Structure 1
Amino acid sequence: MFFSKSIKNNPKAYIAFKSKGNPQKISKYQKAYSRIKSLAIIDGAKYREVHGNLNDLDYILHYLYYGVNDSLDIQQSYVSDVFNLEFYKNTYGAENPVLDYVLEGFYKKNQVNILDNGYIDTLETDLFEQYFSNEKSKVEKIVSNSFYIHDKRTLIPYIQRENPIETGRIRVGVFTNDPFENLAPCPYIRLHALFSKLSESEKFTFFMYGMDSFVMMDIDNILRCKLFDVVVVQRILPFLDILREKCQKYGIKLVYETDDDLLGVEKNSPSYEYVNRVSKSIKDFIDASDVITVTTPTLASKFDENKTVIIPNYYVDSVFDIKEDIKKEGKLKLGYYGTLTHSKDLFLIKDVILRLKEKYDFDFEVIGGFNASDNVEEGWFKPIDLPPDNMNFKKFMGWLSETIDWDIAVVPLENSPFNQCKSELKFIELAILGLPGVYSDMCVYNNVVSDGIDGFLASNDEEWIEKIEKLILDESLRKIIRGNALNKVLSDYMIDDRINEWDIVLTK
């Protein structure tokens, strides 16, 4: 159909013609036109680069009737940068994100991108300018009034600011290479549980950055000023060098936190290749750090004693409760749980289990422990499938407490230099789970377990058999060991002591 130039530049007339007088269509397209124009969602020059000569037709009108059929990739080339079309479509199921937003999505408070925290409050002004103006003011308000921040919608714009927000509190940037939304044991125990509690003192504002934040950050534009007073880094990061350099430039106190001797990872470890590749970055960060926090005296010996602080692990009471429903009947069960990298540890007791099975009728259940690639014959143990999200510490420990009905737990651990730096966390967990344990007789456990009092220690097959056999034959002994272990944990491994230790580290 031929339209005169005057009609092509008269939105009301053009829409009326295209809608064939249908009042609902006229209303819909007039609203869409007006709002797209007011929001400046579409860049006219970029739109014309894609569609060429529009034959005098207003570019927004052209979009409404023709450009709307472009692929999302093409539309994104001329739509405002803050409006992520793919995100919008995937989140809200809208085939035409721009039309959906201006007609309905805005009123439903739909986000225009994954970091949008309600930054668009009107359809009458420029989307881009409105977004960043409101983002700036909202981030400032949240930071000024918060003590523990883990929402990416605040964290990412904050770390890319050009000027600090003074809060009158100690600002602590915390970085872990695990996704914060699905916290594994290490960051949950060593960072989240402690700092979320410490934030209640209102002396600090903690900014909790995880891997799920890193992938959205412009790493080259982080920390353009002194946004933190202290930065805590756990273990390893993909941008350690940049973070260290920025912290040194602005006089930010550096704390390196680790529960493993990463620089001592053995060549047969699955993580050796990666750690070896970034070992210089780790060393440089450790050397630059003002404080190093570790879990055990053995691990502390790997670092400069003048700046190393031992903060032992503890009972995380926010994750699982002391188990009260202790098994009283049914078939005897021994058990083991661990990550999928412990085949060497389990093989330490394979012959022990087989010899005990010749004398006693029991099941030996294993959760984790072996990788599928280990090709392990399962005749000597019963595998228990790991649950979904098994690296989520809170979910896993809740599942574990509900799932297992063991009488005895075994904790074999290869006596290697790397393993010697591990902590007694398994002793703590087993005490809370109500399980008497037999542990490898090495520094990880023999500095904690009183043999025959709150657990048993074994260094060879004969000792493993002897100690396990004692627990198999004596139910009252199992109860005594269990009770003593729990008393030790409740006496020596509570979170409040660790919180006080971190308070000192962050304030001195």
Structure 2
Amino acid sequence: MFVVTEPPYSYQDPWAIPFSERFRALCVGRRRVAYFYERPDTSTFRYRVYNMIQVLHELGGDIGASFFGNDDKDELTRVVDAADVIVICRARYNEHINQMITRAHAQGKRVLFDVDDLVFNTDYVHLILRTLDQDIEVPQAWDHWFGLIARIGATLRMCDGAITTNAYLASQIQEYSGLYADVIPNFLNKEQLCISDRIFQEKMGAGFKRTREVHIGYFSGTPTHNHDFAVVAKSLARIMREDPRVRLLIVGFLELKEGLEMFTDRIEFYGLHDFVNLQRVMSLVEINIVPLMDNGFTNCKSELKYFEAAAVGTLTIATPIHSYKNAITHGENGYLAESTTWTDRIRELISNLDGYQPMAERAHAHSMQEYGWFNQLDRLERVLFGQKVLQPSQSSHTRELTAWGRDQFRPAHATSF
């Protein structure tokens, strides 16, 4: 485990904002973007709405942007009238969404649909249920998933275009809806990078100092990932039998199978963390694993577990689905593991811990270049407004903003996990 002294952060959701303030944030700009998401959460909303608005506010100059949801349904007429572009994110069709889109089109305004998963085409319901380890013998599971996915698909088809996280998912959107789909990847927001930069600088200054134990981290620990985790479970048990230094750190809950139940004294479970404190926990482990089933549903996933770990100087071993295969250059900034090679890849990284720092530095630099919030404005403006805006060079811009983050995002007192 790496030695990191960064204390836990006292977190509060930054999107707990009343409608009046959110509407004012939309109206301050000459160009205005209204995002719609059913209700804010820490997953899709954060990546596809909150992070986008943060970039537009911080770097967009004359752009006003804000978010609205089902709780604002009585105010959506005002929102549509004030906005130039409406982005509806992963929302299920209902009456007020229909009215919002219809009103926007009547005014000649552009409506885009943002989606980060293969959750709009009912042809894939069976695959999704099996991948997410749902009980396919329960009729209510079929009713829920068919209803949810059909309603999301209906909203998508009402829009003028789509935005998504990778080219594979974009092709699925185009095939289903006939709409052109642009790609804006998931990326790190300002809060994540402020704490991550301090941690990375500390690890660099200490020469990546670590304890004797080797920690492998799995940071998708919910029951819906049981099938994904099964891809690597036997390999982990084998490695733990071979090397008594190895520990497993799991955030969330998973069923321990395939021999792992024999090592409960070397497996640490932590509760689900907010997105800021998760960066700290991720920084502690030497190996971040991202095992996935390789199918049409999982290939639509983004590479977020790679770049979040890279931001804090932690290396990743991942299944080479579309996004991870494109983000990770095997042996340069991380490792790729087919279903039959997980044991070899974990052994390889453990045996190369003395050469860890150069690879971690490459992964960090790549994550800043491709997935730092401060490098997304050009792409956002092009997709939202059809314009290309030049940015400062990445190197100077990155240094300036990350240095700012080290000074501005200090953790408040909090209880350690």
With the length of structure 1 as denominator, give the TM-score of the two structures. Answer: 0.60
Query: Which of the residues 247, 251, 273 maps onto 1:367?
Result: 251
* Contact 2:92–2:155 (8 Å) recurs in 1: no
* Contact 2:53–2:66 (8 Å) recurs in 1: no
For 1:261, what is the secondary structure of its paired residue?
Answer: coil
- Higher mean alpha-carbon deviation, 219-228 vs 343-352, is at 219-228
Query: Which of the residues 181, 188, 208 maps onto 2:67?
Result: 208
| 1:347 CA displacement | 1.2
Task: Measure the CA separation in 2 of the matches of 1:156 and 1:497.
Answer: 24
Cα displacement string for residues 302-346 of structure 1 (whole angstroms, at most 9, x for unaligned residues): 123762111122333432323233342231221111151211111
* Contact 1:150–1:207 (8 Å) recurs in 2: no
| 1:380 CA displacement | 4.0
Q: How does 1:263-412 map to 2 (within 5 A)?
A: 263=120, 264-265=124-125, 266-268=128-130, 269=132, 273-304=143-174, 307-319=180-192, 320-322=195-197, 323=200, 324-325=202-203, 326-340=208-222, 341-361=224-244, 362-370=246-254, 378-380=261-263, 382-387=267-272, 390=273, 392-394=274-276, 396-401=277-282, 405-412=284-291
- Higher mean alpha-carbon deviation, 263-272 vs 199-208, is at 263-272
Task: Measure the CA separation in 2 of the matches of 1:204 and 1:419.
Answer: 34
Task: Measure the CA separation in 2 of the matches of 1:428 and 1:166.
Answer: 33
Task: Measure the CA separation in 2 of the matches of 1:476 and 1:156.
Answer: 50
Cα displacement string for residues 49-99 of structure 1 (whole angstroms, at most 9, x for unaligned residues): xxxxxxxxxxxxxxxxxxxxxxxxxxxxxxxxxxxxxxxxxxxxxxxxxxx
- Higher mean alpha-carbon deviation, 268-277 vs 318-327, is at 268-277
| 1:430 CA displacement | 1.3
1:258 alignment partner in structure 2: 115
Task: Measure the CA separation in 2 of the matches of 1:257 and 1:342.
Answer: 24
* Contact 1:294–1:309 (8 Å) recurs in 2: yes
Task: Measure the CA separation in 2 of the matches of 1:289 and 1:246.
Answer: 12
Q: Cα RMSD (Å) of the superposition?
A: 3.2
For 2:281, what is the secondary structure of its paired residue?
Answer: helix
Task: Measure the CA separation in 2 of the matches of 1:405 and 1:423.
Answer: 23
1:235 alignment partner in structure 2: 90
* Contact 1:193–1:318 (8 Å) recurs in 2: no
1:470 and 2:351 matched: no
1:186 alignment partner in structure 2: 44
1:171 and 2:171 matched: no
1:421 alignment partner in structure 2: 300
Sort the Cα spacing of 1:274 and 1:254 in 2 relative to 1 into closer, same or farther, 3 A: farther
| 1:369 CA displacement | 4.9
Task: Measure the CA separation in 2 of the matches of 1:156 and 1:473.
Answer: 51
Sort the Cα spacing of 1:272 and 1:483 in 2 relative to 1 into closer, same or farther, 3 A: farther
| 1:166 CA displacement | 7.6
* Contact 1:344–1:414 (8 Å) recurs in 2: yes
| 1:409 CA displacement | 1.8
1:248 alignment partner in structure 2: 105
| 1:427 CA displacement | 1.0
* Contact 2:93–2:154 (8 Å) recurs in 1: no
* Contact 1:327–1:405 (8 Å) recurs in 2: no
* Contact 1:350–1:380 (8 Å) recurs in 2: no
For 2:35, what is the secondary structure of its paired residue?
Answer: strand
| 1:254 CA displacement | 0.4
For 1:348, what is the secondary structure of its paired residue?
Answer: helix
| 1:251 CA displacement | 3.0
Sort the Cα spacing of 1:358 and 1:379 in 2 relative to 1 into closer, same or farther, 3 A: closer
| Structure number, greater radius of gyration | 1
For 2:369, what is the secondary structure of its paired residue?
Answer: helix
For 1:236, what is the secondary structure of its paired residue?
Answer: coil
Q: State the 4+ residue runs in structure 1 displaced beyond 6 angstroms.
A: 155-158, 165-168
1:178 alignment partner AA: R
Task: Measure the CA separation in 1 of the matches of 2:364 and 2:228.
Answer: 25
| 1:293 CA displacement | 0.7
Gaps of 5+ in 2: 1-14, 135-140, 387-417
* Contact 1:256–1:289 (8 Å) recurs in 2: yes
For 2:88, what is the secondary structure of its paired residue?
Answer: strand
For 1:197, what is the secondary structure of its paired residue?
Answer: helix
Task: Measure the CA separation in 2 of the matches of 1:242 and 1:339.
Answer: 39
1:358 alignment partner AA: R
Sort the Cα spacing of 1:448 and 1:286 in 2 relative to 1 into closer, same or farther, 3 A: same
Task: Measure the CA separation in 2 of the matches of 1:189 and 1:308.
Answer: 17
* Contact 2:55–2:376 (8 Å) recurs in 1: no
| 1:354 CA displacement | 1.4
Gaps of 5+ in 1: 1-148, 159-164
Cα displacement string for residues 170-208 of structure 1 (whole angstroms, at most 9, x for unaligned residues): 2322112332xxx41322222222322312434222232
1:331 alignment partner AA: E
Task: Measure the CA separation in 2 of the matches of 1:450 and 1:168.
Answer: 40
2:287 alignment partner AA: I
* Contact 2:316–2:335 (8 Å) recurs in 1: yes
Task: Measure the CA separation in 2 of the matches of 1:155 and 1:422.
Answer: 33
2:410 alignment partner in structure 1: none
Query: Which of the residues 404, 429, 444 maps onto 2:323?
Result: 444
Sort the Cα spacing of 1:292 and 1:150 in 2 relative to 1 into closer, same or farther, 3 A: farther
What is the number of residues matched between the two proteins? Answer: 339
Task: Measure the CA separation in 1 of the matches of 2:22 and 2:364.
Answer: 42
Sort the Cα spacing of 1:233 and 1:358 in 2 relative to 1 into closer, same or farther, 3 A: same
Cα displacement string for residues 356-413 of structure 1 (whole angstroms, at most 9, x for unaligned residues): 12211111121125279x9x974345142215xx3x433x435535xx6222221111
Cα displacement string for residues 13-47 of structure 1 (whole angstroms, at most 9, x for unaligned residues): xxxxxxxxxxxxxxxxxxxxxxxxxxxxxxxxxxx
With the length of structure 2 as denominator, give the TM-score of the two structures. Answer: 0.72
For 2:356, what is the secondary structure of its paired residue?
Answer: helix
